[in-house]
Chain A
């Protein structure tokens, strides 16, 4: 991906100004929702810091040239002064050994004399030991080193890490900022762009991902199932079994995300039915209908349940059981006129 993303202007201004005035921070924490383009930003920044051309005319600022030897090396993923630290394959967190190795690497002089750049992504995946062993490096890195931490959950980072970094926050992009970019990336028309932006809560890269994978289909299946359950038909356990098998790669987290975004929309519809500022705009009618059947109190506790369910996924609970739990609660939340059973 070439060129700066249009909704990153404010963040680039902060970084460019600092570079121009020679007071660039040695540690940055890029915080913002998933799909806002933090990785793209970090990569572009790294390439810019290591670009021989950009270093030559630092006064004018500007982007990496993409032509010089260091840029070519960077694009080939072989730049010796750049390191990426992420979650190793079949691991769940960034281990302390990775951070120690990084510390050792940073004490050596840079190959091309323009400093070194390290990206740690996602920074909140560092376990406690890893985070602690990074502190020393983060506090007083060798001159010329820039450490860029990425996180969509910055609050999960230890305060000791956060306080050592300059925070650069990425807020949701507006449809105006990202619309033209989405169209250029292959989105059909402005209406679809607006819907995708709304579904992704202002994260354009996520919007593209929603378009390209079967995410929307997943959402439709979910809401069909939920509607059936709400009407008192169908069996929550069977539904959970069917839903749990849908997404082989992503597990049930995408489902829970859609569930939670829909619940939020129903809540909004209940609170202000006349001003439907909801994410799932295309489901307005259906959500309206559902909103009529469920009390606010139950919606709130359902939301809690879904949030807890997402936590349970991370703790490796059985996905089907988790789904069963929320689906049963969903079904029970609706006041369905049932035939009264006589005692």
Chain B
């Protein structure tokens, strides 16, 4: 196999996938990148067994063949070559030779058959969606995912597909974030998948705010996202997500309408003097007024008053300030609506005009 490419068109797709290659691999082959040429198409694949990324590019001179090269060394060489250099990659037996101008590098290869990439993908559901919508779903919810929880199914983001609705749900058992997006997916039945934390973080980084469509494919064991330049495949978490519907409170009768940034700033200030570990703050609801109180073990106290639109009865309730702040920070718009029932029930936080993003925060007993 012999490939002739200019440095830039080789470097860009390599940089796209190099993030997946871990510096310390359990298996030597995971440090390599799979290079596969088929006619005018060149694809490069990197995997850490959890996430697999493939980037595609066009070849000017057709070639056929496949091999694997040490990923870091390969990209370092490409980076170090001068701008606009022409690169010739030749694979001969167990050696791969890179030539450019007067430079010559010989890299060791490993057979492509030993590369553990996913060769066939059977999808149960396939649809296209603008990138920014998918990114919105992830960014609105991913902060609520659990970290290294023994309930392993919480260490990821739930995607639920039903009809023409995509819903993302994340929870760590103390708070929950839920976000809906309408898209033409035509799901024949409700499908749920849990995408692991690592893949969610990586996706949020990869997707941008353009409305360029991305193809999403759901398999039994994997999710695959593809654009014209690359594809991203992740394993799923093999578990059942808890029934989140039961957690979202229905019909809270104490409805508080507040200015979002005002509430957020007040809460931010008050939380400075809250208990550093539990971050507990006390909300005192009275008609037209919310008082936020915080104190710490050193008996220091903070008190904030916010004018709100509220006409219900008095209520005193405690929350973890960070959870409320996370929710307030994710929402957009001027106003925010808090729906409460009593001291021991969850609080629902959402924008007054839309139900697309909802946040549930458990109260604290103070």
B237 is an interface residue with CB less than 8 A from chain A: yes
A78 touches B29 (CB 8 A): yes
B221 touches A78 (CB 8 A): no
Bound CA–CA A103/B221 (angstroms): 18
Known: A80-B116, A103-B152. A108 touches B50 (CB 8 A): yes
A77 is an interface residue with CB less than 8 A from chain B: yes
27 A-B pairs whose Cβ atoms sit less than 8 Å apart in the complex: A69-B113, A73-B116, A76-B29, A76-B111, A76-B113, A77-B27, A78-B27, A78-B30, A78-B115, A80-B47, A103-B152, A107-B152, A107-B238, A108-B50, A108-B196, A108-B235, A108-B237, A108-B238, A109-B236, A110-B221, A110-B235, A110-B238, A111-B118, A111-B235, A113-B220, A113-B221, A143-B238
B238 touches A109 (CB 8 A): yes
Query: Known contacts A72-B114, A109-B238; can you find 13 more A-B pairs with CB under 8 A?
Result: A73-B113, A73-B116, A78-B115, A80-B49, A104-B148, A107-B155, A108-B50, A108-B237, A109-B220, A109-B237, A110-B235, A136-B150, A142-B238
Residues A49-87 near B (CB distance < 8 A)? 69, 72-73, 76-80
Report A-chain residues with C-beta under 8 Å of the C-beta of B295. none
Partner of A111, one of B49, B114, B237: B49
B288 is an interface residue with CB less than 8 A from chain A: no
Bound CA–CA A326/B221 (angstroms): 59
B119 is an interface residue with CB less than 8 A from chain A: yes
Query: Main SS of the interface on chain A?
Result: loop
A109 touches B116 (CB 8 A): no
Bound CA–CA A262/B118 (angstroms): 55
Residues A96-146 near B (CB distance < 8 A)? 103-104, 107-111, 113, 136, 142-143
Bound CA–CA A104/B238 (angstroms): 11
B239 is an interface residue with CB less than 8 A from chain A: yes
A107 touches B239 (CB 8 A): yes
B113 touches A72 (CB 8 A): yes
Interface size on A, residues (CB 8 A): 19
A108 touches B236 (CB 8 A): yes
Report B-chain residues with C-beta under 8 Å of the C-beta of A103. 152
Instruction: Type the 1/0 row for B20-48, where 1 means its CB is closer than 8 Å to any CB of A.
Output: 00000001011000000000000000010
Query: Main SS of the interface on chain B?
Result: loop
B222 is an interface residue with CB less than 8 A from chain A: yes
Report B-chain residues with C-beta under 8 Å of the C-beta of A143. 238
Q: Give me the interface of B with A, judged by CB distance under 8 Å.
A: 27, 29-30, 47, 49-50, 111, 113-116, 118-119, 148, 150, 152-153, 155, 196, 220-222, 235-239
Report B-chain residues with C-beta under 8 Å of the C-beta of A108. 50, 196, 235-238
Bound CA–CA A107/B148 (angstroms): 12
Bound CA–CA A147/B155 (angstroms): 23
Q: Which residue, B115, B118, B152, B239, has most C-beta atoms of chain A within 10 A? A: B152
Bound CA–CA A76/B115 (angstroms): 9
Bound CA–CA A204/B237 (angstroms): 42
Known: A69-B119, A72-B114. A109 touches B222 (CB 8 A): yes
Known: A113-B220, A136-B150. A107 touches B237 (CB 8 A): yes
Report B-chain residues with C-beta under 8 Å of the C-beta of A104. 148, 152
Q: Top 6 nearest A-B pairs by Cβ distance?
A: A109-B221, A76-B114, A107-B152, A80-B116, A108-B235, A142-B238
- Smallest beta-carbon distance B71→chain A, Å: 15
- Smallest beta-carbon distance B54→chain A, Å: 15
Instruction: Type the 1/0 row for A278-294, where 1 means its CB is closer than 8 Å to any CB of B.
Output: 00000000000000000
Bound CA–CA A109/B238 (angstroms): 5
Report B-chain residues with C-beta under 8 Å of the C-beta of A107. 152-153, 155, 237-239
Report B-chain residues with C-beta under 8 Å of the C-beta of A110. 221, 235, 238
- Smallest beta-carbon distance B301→chain A, Å: 41
- Smallest beta-carbon distance B158→chain A, Å: 14
Report A-chain residues with C-beta under 8 Å of the C-beta of B222. 109
Report A-chain residues with C-beta under 8 Å of the C-beta of B49. 80, 111
